[in-house]
Homo-oligomer: A and B are copies of this chain.
């Protein structure tokens, strides 16, 4: 394990310190918590947006705190959902009287911890609503199981729900548009290498030099299929195809995200993007906007995911709306 760190058990606290040092006029860390909130939180009469999850997905989630996106992000230990008390502190800190909206990725831990926090907040009379993001088509969609994971598509939920809240939307408005994004966003990822949780000290899995893992999650969870490493074009085709099969994108306009998992050079992401655009053009799907870069990572894992968000006029307008955060500007 080669990492630039001090104590492996202190990486989250050390990171948050460096984060606040970098953006002291924009964000604050709530005392004795792992919560990063807007400097001016709570914003009166605006729905407060809270997201979060395990650390190791940077720039998610603190990187999306700022105008037009989140009001607070809760950082758990690496790949470990934050605890209810931390989420509860975030909720209290961003409640400006218009209620608080939680963006939760669909992992058992995240759902349980955020819901317990919501129960605590409700008991204090704070209006709390939530959306569960489950964009990962690598996992079967089933109500009998945990269901699909939330991965890079979550960034679009932050962006669009955040814009709605910034425009003065009600808690119900924000929930409605967040659910619209969830209904229309799908992702699929793959990995070439594992990653190493600092406190674990060894890689999450082993993989041969000529192999790749298809359907990789963002926590080093093994994917759904291991096979021989393919060309960028074939990878782009496989990921895009799986996404396209899941909901009907035909004739629609989409936002594309080609997301790097941590150590994949931007060069490779653009190579994938080239083919994704060709495929969409062949299918008559119009690309409204493209995002290429690291938006939802998995420590230093090599690999990428492809996300497509089907847009309508409302989503387009909210996607374009102003956002000023450390990791996302528009």
Could you tell me which A residues sit within 8 Å of B by CB distance? Answer: 2-6, 11, 14-19, 21-23, 55-56, 58-59, 63, 192-193, 209, 212, 229, 231-233, 235, 262-275, 277, 287, 290-292, 294, 297, 299-300, 302-304, 329
Asked whether A302 lies within 8 Å of B300 as measured between CB atoms, the reply is: yes
Complex partner residue of A300 from B264, B297, B299, CB under 8 angstroms:
B264
Please name all residues of chain B whose beta carbon is closer than 8 Å to the beta carbon of A287 when the two chains form the complex.
21
- Known contacts A14-B274, A268-B3: does B300 contact A22 (CB below 8 Å)? no
Copies in the complex: 2
Asked whether B299 lies within 8 Å of A6 as measured between CB atoms, the reply is: no
Q: How far, in Å, is A305 (CB) from chain B's closest CB?
A: 12
Asked whether A229 lies within 8 Å of B274 as measured between CB atoms, the reply is: no
Top-5 shortest CB links A-B = A263-B263, A18-B274, A18-B270, A58-B266, A18-B273
Please name all residues of chain B whose beta carbon is closer than 8 Å to the beta carbon of A262 when the two chains form the complex.
263, 265
Asked whether A290 lies within 8 Å of B6 as measured between CB atoms, the reply is: no
Please name all residues of chain B whose beta carbon is closer than 8 Å to the beta carbon of A2 when the two chains form the complex.
192-193, 209, 212, 229, 302
**Interface residues of A: mostly helix, strand, loop or mixed?**
mixed
Cα of A329 to Cα of B6 in the assembled complex, Å: 31
Complex partner residue of A290 from B11, B23, B232, CB under 8 angstroms:
B23
Complex partner residue of A232 from B14, B192, B329, CB under 8 angstroms:
B14
Please name all residues of chain B whose beta carbon is closer than 8 Å to the beta carbon of A273 when the two chains form the complex.
18-19, 21-22
Asked whether B277 lies within 8 Å of A4 as measured between CB atoms, the reply is: no
Please name all residues of chain B whose beta carbon is closer than 8 Å to the beta carbon of A5 when the two chains form the complex.
231-232, 268, 271
Can you list 11 contacts pairing A with B, beta carbon distance less than 8 Å? A2-B212, A6-B271, A11-B267, A14-B274, A18-B275, A19-B270, A19-B292, A21-B287, A58-B265, A58-B267, A266-B297
Nearest B residue to A19 via CB reads: B270
* 16 additional A-B residue pairs with CB within 8 Å, beyond A6-B231, A15-B274, A267-B299: A2-B192, A3-B268, A4-B264, A5-B268, A6-B233, A14-B271, A18-B271, A18-B273, A22-B292, A23-B290, A56-B267, A58-B266, A264-B300, A266-B297, A294-B294, A300-B302
